[in-house]
Amino acid sequence: GEDVEQSLFLSVREGDSSVINCTYTDSSSTYLYWYKQEPGAGLQLLTYIFSNMDMKQDQRLTVLLNKKDKHLSLRIADTQTGDSAIYFCAESGAGLTGGGNKLTFGTGTQLKVEL
């Protein structure tokens, strides 16, 4: 079945770049996503990338996809204290009855931004 893995913790200094890594096993994934979860809040979709793309940039966020190695990364430039959260990598897995797609999530990476 599908499996998505991430490292559990990352600590960076404010103003530095953060790079959060993810590996996945399902080679048929069509979309890969990064979600952000702040304490007490629901998941917020940050960005996504289609599997035939290598890179996507959106303001301070850069997503890199190495489809051969099934490796996805999220780079946050000029990391701020407000970026402290848990970041989840997810891939769109099997289609569901009636349409729609099940998302398979990694365990999440806790990003801590220090002053």
Partner 1 sequence: GAGVSQSPSNKVTEKGKDVELRCDPISGHTALYWYRQRLGQGLEFLIYFQGNSAPDKSGLPSDRFSAERTGESVSTLTIQRTQQEDSAVYLCASSSRPESLYEQYFGPGTRLTVT
Q: Are strands 18-24 and 71-76 parallel, antiparallel or unpaired?
A: antiparallel
Shortest separation between residue 108's beta carbon and partner 1, angstroms: 6
User: Of 42-61, which residues contact partner 1 (CB under 8 A)?
Assistant: 42-45, 48
Single residue of 10, 33, 63, 85 touching partner 1 by CB under 8 A: 33
Query: What is the x/- site pattern for partner 1, positions 59-98, by CB under 8 A?
Result: -----------------------------x-x-x---xxx
Shortest separation between residue 43's beta carbon and partner 1, angstroms: 4
C-alpha of 20 from chain center: 7
Q: Which token pair is 65? A: 């996809």
**Size of interface with partner 1, in residues (CB under 8 A):** 29
Q: What is the DSSP letter of 25?
A: -
Q: How many DSSP H helices and E strands does the chain contain?
A: 0, 11
Instruction: Indicate if the alpha-carbon torsion angle 26, 73, 20, 57 is positive or negative.
Output: negative
Q: List contacts with partner 1 (CB under 8 A).
A: 4, 8, 30-31, 33, 35, 40-45, 48, 88, 90, 92, 96-108
